[in-house]
């Protein structure tokens, strides 16, 4: 069997994380949801009040809930939050658990709905607008609006914010089982310790229990390791903390004066330890952003600050002045000169992209117009309709003064525009890579023109699950950078895998800049797999999945390796290399960013949906994907197929094709052991032992000449060997290889085949 892989280089700007379609749809800002909860008990409010007073977070069973008319039964309801709840209010915030009785019940993948009652925000836009800004720079919740009814009585207009739970973690961190804390103390201390990550309480982890809410099965030792390093060995903090993500969180909080956060009373954030062993802060509870909360800054305004002080708040107060209450997550990080420049660079990006250009004002006005009628219909809102319309621009006075959002942020934009580090940053332009066409294992030059810089750093990685490697770029005339001293910098990335993700950072004595500006949440990508790829196929489908007509037909799965939707109008699929335009995609066909598209290869074009005019051969053939100009984009050749075993890329979207367990319209997750079983059937080769240590043995069916290539899971070439022997077995030394998954490819004149193995 011969496998042919067509390689196409792509260059794209990619977001680090994205939302699942169902959740994005549910939280779409331009849609006001309707939720109706039904309780059997007429005194449901008294019962919820009692559960809140009890403090045990117990729930009241609702007989049913209707979400935009779609009914689910038996959900658990309780109040949400602390200061926003009162037994004397009609409009309290709600936490609705859809899988309260039925552990599998969800709505479009969502099993928990959190509704905030929009207290302390006459404008009604603070929370939704703030999350919209935050999502540009870091993982943050989706948010929109909901009209809530209970027993068919309108309670009011709420903000609907995505929960930070397992679904959120899986979406943004590709894991759920690692250490996870909600950083909110059981009892808020108004004198400033709380969940501040200080080591004031010493080394006994049990003393920290009241300050942090453990959401995972374990993690106290991990948390104290972070606390100890942050306070005593801050120079090593990058090993345990995603510093860039932390700087983005601080930049967001200080730009938008969101001080009901780590800044003020050290609360309202989460910490999740990713698969690389680093804690990531996650924003939460943004309803008092835009200086609605001004009770403390833990520094010179520890007893509170007014609106003029909010406009001119020093974003480095915990470096330039004092920390009356310990804030090591700021103070001990800001002591690093480069971190401070990166932090200010992130603030500059937030201000330029949202506030200097008045985009935020247009977005806020759009949201107010969207909800105008619903605010008027909300008879339980905490402020008047006039307050609602006024607070977008002017201060509204109630128990406290709520600053007009545009009045605050226009003044803040003016103040920060002259703040040290906002001006005088390096310029990064003409970012290029070469050669234009790359293959796996090649080297790639990255160059950029950078002026007004003392240092230029390239950060790169071969997978978004990896950490970025950070290296100096050179302007010495020896790194594909033109002449020495011409402000063109270069660096050679060697032995690339299926893709390279990278960004550039440059600074001088006072200021820094990233390219792209939203790095490291966004980055540039070089890929050898193309934007839209053939990702998986089934040429012998007996039980995997049926189509719209209940038929178990052949299917083809495409995957979009980019973050943006791609229109497939006029693209082609074919199983004949002499007729690449055999079947054309209908107009209007789109594949969403980082999403999948299924085409049924059943030669039945009259059925509804995407049905190609050819079938796949279970005995083996080729499959081709071409663009609207009939340029070949992607192809694969497969041999005889085993029923209900598929042929797909591993790793998903970028890897070579291997036999695997089916993952219909989902991420490919190759199962260990499948390759060995199929290899015996196809008489190609066997790799053993698997898992291996020290060496692996390779057995082929017939003696001859073979080339053997070992790559890591990201496609980088780790070892090669030529085998020319009368024996059917050879050995390969793997001493010195790190533990993990590896891919072994064997090539001769008759076939190319790939297997996966593990090194322990």
Please return the burial class of 211, using the count of CB atoms within 10 Å of its CB with bins 0-12, 13-18 and 19+.
Answer: buried
In this structure, are strands 512-515 and 269-273 parallel, antiparallel, or unpaired? Answer: unpaired
Cα 135 to Cα 140, 248, 443, 455, 514: the distances in Å are 5, 11, 34, 29, 18
Smallest CA-to-CA distance from 39 within 58, 56, 57, 59 is with 59
Residue range 97-110: mean pLDDT, rounded? 91
Same fold, 427-515 and 674-759: yes
Q: Any idea which fold 532-660 has?
A: Immunoglobulin-like (2.60.40)
Please tell me the predicted confidence (pLDDT) of residue 3: 30
The whole-angstrom separation of Cα 626 and Cα 609 is: 20
| Average pLDDT over the chain, rounded to an integer | 89
The residue written with tokens 């919209």 in the block is: 132
What percentage of the chain carries pLDDT values higher than 90? 66
Q: How confident is the model at residue 684 (pLDDT cuts 50, 70, 90)?
A: low
Residue range 634-646: mean pLDDT, rounded? 85
**What number of CA atoms fall less than 13 Å from residue 505's CA on the CB side?**
22
**pLDDT tens, 316-363?**
999 999 999 999 999 999 999 999 999 999 999 999 999 999 999 999
Domain ranges of the chain: 21-166, 173-355, 427-515, 532-660, 674-759
Cα 366 to Cα 220, 363, 545: the distances in Å are 44, 5, 43
**pLDDT tens, 269-298?**
999 999 999 999 999 999 999 999 999 999
Q: Is the pLDDT of residue 21 over 80?
A: no
The whole-angstrom separation of Cα 445 and Cα 527 is: 14
Q: How confident is the model at residue 679 (pLDDT cuts 50, 70, 90)?
A: very low
Residue of higher predicted confidence among 81 and 257: 257
Cα 241 to Cα 190, 211, 419, 533: the distances in Å are 27, 19, 27, 35
Please tell me the predicted confidence (pLDDT) of residue 641: 86
Contact assessment for residue 664 and residue 554, using Cβ atoms and an 8 Å cutoff: no
In this structure, are strands 611-612 and 596-601 parallel, antiparallel, or unpaired? Answer: parallel
The whole-angstrom separation of Cα 380 and Cα 399 is: 17
CA dihedral 694→699→705→708, nearest 10 degrees, is -40
Residue range 684-713: mean pLDDT, rounded? 79
Please tell me the predicted confidence (pLDDT) of residue 671: 56
Q: Is the pLDDT of residue 627 over 90?
A: no
Tokens linked to 612? 């190609």
The whole-angstrom separation of Cα 407 and Cα 412 is: 9
Q: Is the pLDDT of residue 385 over 60?
A: yes
Q: Is the pLDDT of residue 4 over 50?
A: no
Residue 328, phi then psi, degrees to nearest 5: -65, -25
Q: How confident is the model at residue 725 (pLDDT cuts 50, 70, 90)?
A: low
**pLDDT tens, 455-464?**
999 999 987 7
The whole-angstrom separation of Cα 256 and Cα 287 is: 12
pTM for this structure? 0.78
What percentage of the chain carries pLDDT values higher than 70? 93
Contact assessment for residue 195 and residue 211, using Cβ atoms and an 8 Å cutoff: yes
Smallest CA-to-CA distance from 198 within 224, 237, 220 is with 224
Cα 558 to Cα 555, 592, 624, 634: the distances in Å are 10, 11, 11, 10
Tokens linked to 104? 């599998």
Tally of CB atoms within 10 A around 451: 11
Sign of CA dihedral 141, 146, 150, 156: positive
Percent helix, percent strand, percent coil in the chain, to nearest 5: 20, 30, 50
Q: Any idea which fold 674-759 has?
A: Immunoglobulin-like (2.60.40)
User: Which residues pair with residue 576 across a beta bridge?
Assistant: none
**pLDDT tens, 220-263?**
999 999 999 999 999 999 999 999 999 999 999 999 999 999 99
Please tell me the predicted confidence (pLDDT) of residue 714: 67
Please tell me the predicted confidence (pLDDT) of residue 22: 39
Please name the helix (run of DSSP H) or strand (run of DSSP E) that holds residue 537, with its range, or none: strand 532-538
Residue 728, phi then psi, degrees to nearest 5: -100, 5
Residue 460, phi then psi, degrees to nearest 5: -145, 160
Residue range 715-721: mean pLDDT, rounded? 77
The whole-angstrom separation of Cα 395 and Cα 719 is: 67
- Range 427-515 classified under CATH 2.60.40.10: yes
Residue range 516-521: mean pLDDT, rounded? 96
Please return the burial class of 186, using the count of CB atoms within 10 Å of its CB with bins 0-12, 13-18 and 19+.
Answer: exposed
The whole-angstrom separation of Cα 9 and Cα 1 is: 26
**What number of CA atoms fall less than 13 Å from residue 588's CA on the CB side?**
2
Sign of CA dihedral 680, 682, 685, 688: negative
Contact assessment for residue 474 and residue 491, using Cβ atoms and an 8 Å cutoff: yes
- Plot region of 257 (φ>0 → left; ψ -120 to 50 → alpha; else → beta): left
Q: Is the pLDDT of residue 20 over 50?
A: no
Please tell me the predicted confidence (pLDDT) of residue 83: 77
Please name the helix (run of DSSP H) or strand (run of DSSP E) that holds residue 733, with its range, or none: strand 729-733
């Amino acid at each position: 069997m011969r496998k042919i892989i067509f390689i196409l280089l792509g260059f794209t700007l990619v977001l680090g994380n994205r939302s699942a379609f169902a959740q994005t749809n549910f939280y779409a800002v331009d849609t006001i949801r309707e939720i109706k909860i039904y309780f059997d008990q007429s005194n449901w409010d008294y019962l919820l009040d009692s559960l809140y007073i009890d403090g045990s977070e117990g729930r009241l069973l609702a007989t049913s809930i209707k979400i935009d008319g779609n009914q689910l039964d038996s959900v658990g309801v309780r109040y949400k939050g602390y200061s926003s709840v009162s037994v004397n209010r009609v409009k309290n915030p709600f936490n609705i658990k859809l899988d309260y009785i039925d552990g599998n019940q969800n709505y479009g993948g969502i099993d928990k709905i959190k509704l905030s009652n929009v207290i302390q925000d006459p404008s009604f836009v603070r929370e939704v607008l703030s999350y919209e800004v935050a999502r540009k720079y870091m993982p943050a919740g989706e948010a929109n609006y909901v009209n809530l009814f209970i027993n068919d009585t309108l309670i009011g207009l709420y903000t609907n914010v995505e929960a930070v739970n397992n679904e959120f973690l899986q979406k943004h961190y590709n894991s759920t089982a690692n250490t996870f804390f909600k950083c909110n103390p059981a009892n808020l201390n108004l004198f400033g310790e709380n969940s501040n990550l200080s080591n004031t309480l010493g080394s006994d982890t049990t003393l920290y229990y009241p300050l942090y809410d453990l959401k995972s099965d374990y993690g106290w030792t991990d948390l104290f390791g972070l606390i100890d390093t942050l306070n005593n060995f801050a120079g090593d903090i990058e090993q345990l903390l995603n510093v860039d993500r932390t700087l983005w969180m601080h930049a967001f909080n200080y730009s938008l004066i969101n001080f009901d956060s780590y800044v003020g009373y050290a609360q309202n954030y989460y910490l999740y330890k990713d698969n690389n062993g680093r804690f990531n802060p996650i924003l939460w509870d943004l309803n008092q952003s835009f200086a609605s909360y001004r009770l403390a800054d833990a520094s010179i305004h520890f007893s509170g600050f007014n609106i003029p002080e909010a406009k001119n708040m020093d974003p480095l107060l915990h470096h330039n002045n004092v920390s009356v209450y310990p804030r090591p997550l700021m103070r001990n990080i800001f002591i690093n000169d480069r971190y401070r420049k990166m932090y200010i660079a992130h603030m500059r990006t937030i201000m330029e992209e949202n506030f200097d250009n008045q985009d935020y004002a247009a977005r806020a006005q759009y949201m107010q117009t969207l909800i105008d009628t619903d605010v008027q219909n909300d008879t339980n809102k905490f402020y008047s309709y006039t307050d609602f319309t006024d607070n977008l621009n002017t201060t509204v006075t109630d128990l406290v003064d709520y600053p007009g959002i545009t009045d605050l942020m226009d003044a803040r934009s003016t103040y920060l525009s002259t703040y040290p580090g906002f001006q005088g940053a390096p310029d990064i332009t003409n970012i290029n890579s070469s050669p234009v066409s790359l293959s796996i294992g090649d080297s790639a030059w990255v160059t950029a023109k950078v002026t007004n810089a003392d240092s230029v750093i390239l950060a790169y990685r071969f997978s978004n699950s990896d950490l970025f490697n950070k290296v100096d770029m050179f302007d010495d005339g020896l790194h594909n950078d033109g002449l020495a001293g011409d402000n063109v910098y270069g660096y050679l990335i060697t032995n690339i895998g299926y893709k390279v993700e990278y960004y550039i950072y440059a600074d001088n004595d006072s200021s820094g800049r990233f390219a792209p500006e939203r790095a490291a949440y966004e980055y540039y990508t070089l890929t050898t797999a193309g934007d839209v790829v053939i990702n998986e196929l089934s040429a012998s489908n007996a039980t995997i999945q049926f189509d719209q007509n209940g038929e178990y037909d052949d299917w083809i799965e495409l995957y979009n390796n980019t973050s943006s939707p791609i229109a497939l109008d006029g693209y082609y699929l074919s199983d004949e290399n002499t007729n690449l335009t055999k079947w054309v995609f209908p107009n209007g066909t789109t594949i969403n960013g980082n999403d999948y598209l299924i085409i049924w290869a059943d030669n039945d074009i009259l059925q509804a949906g995407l049905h190609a005019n050819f079938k796949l051969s279970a005995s083996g053939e080729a499959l081709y994907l071409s663009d609207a100009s009939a340029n070949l984009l992607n192809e694969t050749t497969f041999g005889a197929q085993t029923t209900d075993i598929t042929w797909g890329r591993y790793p998903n979207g970028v890897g070579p094709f291997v036999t695997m367990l089916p993952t219909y319209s989902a991420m490919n997750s190759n199962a260990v052991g499948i390759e060995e079983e199929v290899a015996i059937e196809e008489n190609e080769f066997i790799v053993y032992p698997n898992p291996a240590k020290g060496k692996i043995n390779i057995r082929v069916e017939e003696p001859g000449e073979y080339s053997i290539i070992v790559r890591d899971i990201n496609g980088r070439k780790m070892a090669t060997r030529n085998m020319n022997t009368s024996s059917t077995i050879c050995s390969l030394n793997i001493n010195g290889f790190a533990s993990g998954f590896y891919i072994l490819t064997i090539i001769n004149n008759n076939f190319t085949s790939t297997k996966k193995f593990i090194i322990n």
